[in-house]
Structure 1
């Protein structure tokens, strides 16, 4: 049995090593995405005016009035003192062509006191410019910038999801192989530092993996959830616990609306969200709103200004409304719902380490480096053994003619 497991571990490792190396290093960096982005681009993130901030809803209206091509799709409702307000935008439909206007940007930084746009960028663009570097790394981490097929399949997202599945199975195999004999279990936790060389490389791979094995499993499982939530993770979790359907499956959203029906204003949605939050006794006021026009959907998150990443918790509460009727069509509130709902709600916070606040993020950065280290040492071990096998085979070929003579 062990030879079979060794072979599986070898080929699973070779097949996933490069992807895991890249994902590990980028993950270690983007654990500090906001801080690094702000440090690299202070003019984009920090406001210059000391005057009191206007309301976010008023600022969004001013942005859209100043450029009728622009439609604000994500709007933080609270302002962090000294910071700009970062809005996500998209082009409205051009009446002449029936297609969205090409803006050249999808995120803007607005001075909350004046409404002046301090910066624009295309978040997620394939660019290494300082303004685009952190969004580039963030998106590269889970898409590899591979294309989306005509049928809407994101090749990179699927590929890394499959890599995570293989990695999860390979981690179990690796743990079995790390303990060839229970009598010598201590060796599987030791590092031959003084000996150095190949022995240390081997121990970094085997013993290093053993020490962090549980955390590797968490990262692998949450990676599957991040990339393959609907096709893989939700069906698996639903075997053990009922899952509340997402808002996009609500039949009301799919029902045809009269041509004259217009989306409700952001102001009205925020009013509904505030009233609903009080009724549900949520622990925060509405913190952001987003709109998906193609689904006739508004979403509202509940968190304090700057708390969109929900540090120190399993996530923020999000509720959803039909943009045409104002009817509530779904929601996700951490800690409420089924066990499966709670598990799914915590996936991002677990994957990013933010569920444990600052210590969790430090740990995730460390684990990103460890994933890269385990991948690199695995390739070194494989290559050394490959060279040894080839050398042995060459010696056999040399000896055989000599014996015949």
Structure 2
């Protein structure tokens, strides 16, 4: 009796949480599924401006690329620079504060294409904020918390009361009635996808809540390192922005060679971040440097060779969340799990709808007998 009451309580929690967040879960899941193959989609659909013909020439220099940007858009400012170091014919991408994106030839700094954020970036914004800014982020973050609770309560409901029913709980009866087939699609597919979805959801919460990062630090017995503070002498002369950025990039490349990609980003409060990613298999090997944006003086540095347990979790989290960890097989698995996640609110709603109609039919039959 107690077990039945417990299951009913869990069922009600699962039901009402699902009804409250179903639409948001569908949006998160479908947009996430699309973004899993972001790299492949971009390489296939955008190769005409993401790459130029391969030449036996060196990189023209970041200063020349930035000068080209400043000439084209003198009233705009830099927000992000991406350089694919492992691909010498990949264009240098600059995103401005006004949201414009420029692609420059790496050999001569000429403009290859100018545009706005592409549809994949809109998909990313939809996934993280519903295109509603801070309000959307709040809704998304707490919807993922609820989704984690739904996955856990769903596993409790899935678990068969008797071991002889285990096979039945793991099998979809394809020749059954629509009602039974829909139930199996919700119950069985939800179980098979649950581990991947739990890992994906928890890695998403890692981005959203400081408490999740603190929990990771607690379990590893380490703390996220801010990086080693650097005491740098102030330059006697401040170089122009193009020269300053080029000097930072050149010095970092010389001291820490072998990066496959490099990015500059402005983080607010006058701080510039340089991130260099190196070949890796599990945790992302990345060196991160922070500078005063106005002077180019280094503030601190965080090297992957110094990572502790909490740092390794942080470095792995993005690839875990996007399915990139372990390469294409895991991307396919994550994609399928995301599609299943998108289907769960639909099949769950149908189950609820069928159960609502059932009592009404009984009342109607009883009324007919009383006539």
Is 1:193 matched up with 2:174?
yes
**1:286 to 1:371, Cα distance in 2 relative to 1, 3 A:** closer
**Equivalent residue pairs, number:** 356
Preserved contact between residue 59 and residue 112 of structure 1 (Cα < 8 Å): no
Correspondence list, 1:291-302, <5 A: 291-292=265-266, 294-302=268-276
**Quick check: 2:23–2:345 contact (8 Å CA) kept in 1?**
yes
Counterpart CA distance in 2 for 1:390 and 1:338 is 60
Which of 133, 140, 151 pairs up with 2:126?
140
Structure 2 counterparts to residues 90-129 of structure 1, below 5 A: 90=97, 103=98, 105-123=99-117
In the alignment, what sits opposite 2:189?
208
Distance 1:390 1:219, change over 3 A: farther
Residue by residue over 1:282-334, the C-alpha shift from the partner in whole angstroms, topping out at 9 and shown as x without a partner, is xx337313131633323222236xx7xx7x4322413122223623424262x
Q: Following TM superposition, by how much is the alpha carbon of 1:215 offset from its aligned partner in structure 2, in angstroms? A: 1.1
Matched, 1:14 2:19: yes
1:158 corresponds to = 138
Change (3 A) 1:367 1:59: farther
Contact 1:290 1:298 in 2 (8 A): yes
Deviation at 1:174, TM superposition (A): 0.9
> Is 1:47 paired with 2:41?
no
The answer on 1:345 being equivalent to 2:315 is: yes
The residue number in structure 1 matching 2:291 is 322
Q: Quote the residue 1:84 is aligned against.
A: 91
Give the CA deviation at 1:277. 3.0
Matched, 1:360 2:346: no
Contact 2:88 2:106 in 1 (8 A): no
Is 1:268 paired with 2:247?
A: yes
Cα separation, 2, equivalents of 1:84 and 1:267 = 16
* Pairwise CA RMSD: 3.2
Q: Separation in 1 of the partners of 2:334 and 2:60? A: 36
- The 1:187/1:293 distance shift into structure 2, 3 A limit, reads closer
How far is the alpha carbon of 1:371 from its aligned partner? Answer: 0.9
Q: Which residue of 2 aligns with 1:235?
A: 214
Give 1:360 deviation, angstroms: 1.7
1:69 aligns with 2:107: no
2:38–2:120: 8 Å Cα contact kept in structure 1? yes
Q: CA deviation at 1:348?
A: 0.8
Aligned-pair CA distance for 1:251: 12
SS in 2 for 1:145: coil
3-state DSSP of counterpart to 2:256: helix
Q: The residue matched to 1:199 in structure 2 has which SS?
A: helix
Secondary structure of residue in 2 paired with 1:346: helix
CA distance in 1, matches of 2:230, 2:132: 33
Tell me how far apart the structure 2 counterparts of residues 53 and 363 of structure 1 sit (CA, whole Å).
Answer: 40
* Gaps in structure 2 of 5+ consecutive residues: 1-5
Q: Does the Cα contact within 8 Å between 2:284 and 2:315 map onto a contact in 1?
A: yes
Cα 1:86–1:16 change in 2 (3 A) is same
Unaligned segments of structure 1, at least 5 residues: 91-102, 124-131, 148-153, 279-283
Shift of 1:356: 0.7
| Distance in 2 between residues matched to 1:23 and 1:277, nearest whole Å | 38
Query: 2:60 touches 2:109 (CA, 8 Å); kept in 1?
Result: no
Tell me, what secondary structure is at the counterpart of 1:265? helix
TM-score between the two structures when normalised by the length of structure 1:
0.77
- Residue 57, structure 1, aligned to residue 27, structure 2: no
